[in-house]
Amino acid sequence: MAEMSRVGRWLVNAGNARRSRRLLDSIGNRLPLPSSPRLLELGAGRGGLSALLQQRYRPGHLVVTDYDPRQVEAARAYLSGELGPLPPTIELRPLDARVIPFGDGSFDGVFAINMLHHVEAEHSEYRERPGVLRQIRRVLSPGGCLVFRDFSRTRDVRQTLRELGFIPLFEKPGWRGRYLGVFQSPS
């Protein structure tokens, strides 16, 4: 995994909040989350989804991460602009999704939006993603939800999730191979 170029960061961050709003509208009320859920966002980029998660779900703990420390700082600035002083329930940190440093069952929901392909040296590879999905499974509480969207090797991702015991709750194929899915971890 490498940090993104300036152009890559621009592409990821442009329209981030608008796309995030559409994503949450697509999911609707399909997330069986408890009140004050513990949420982890992997690859948050600028933080558009993070702000919406805070506003919609009022999490007891929201961990906002990105591999690129510059993206973490961009998210911090964006969230401060949207939310004012950050509540103590929001934690921002650089993180490599291949090694998620949280205990088993730490989160009720994990969001991995357009980031899984970034763990590979080449988007067409499928070497690192299974390990990342195992890490996500480990940190999810029983019955917790993974929300993921991507465009590369999504059939393989879905197969790996099923092998890990995840149950699909919502699936939405999109144009150009894009895919949005909500999967529940085994109870």
CATH fold label, 6-184: Rossmann fold (3.40.50)
In this structure, the number of other CB atoms found within 10 A of the CB of residue 36 comes to 13
Query: Considering the chain, what is the average pLDDT of its residues?
Result: 91
- Among 143, 150, 139, residue whose Cα is nearest residue 112: 150
Q: How far apart (Å, rounded) are the C-alpha atoms in residues 100 and 105?
A: 12
The type of residue at 77 is A
Is the predicted pLDDT of residue 17 greater than 80, yes or no? no
Number of other residues whose CB lies within 10 A of the CB of residue 94: 14
Residues 59-87 have pLDDT tens digits of 999 999 999 999 999 999 999 999 999 99
The model carries a pTM of 0.91
Residue 170 structure tokens: 């919502």
> Mean per-residue pLDDT for 168-181?
87
* Residue the block writes with tokens 């490498």: 2
As a whole number of angstroms, the distance between CA 85 and CA 160 comes to 39
- From the number of C-beta atoms within 10 Å of its C-beta (0-12, 13-18, 19+), residue 86 rates as middle
- 151 close to 114: Cβ distance less than 8 angstroms: yes
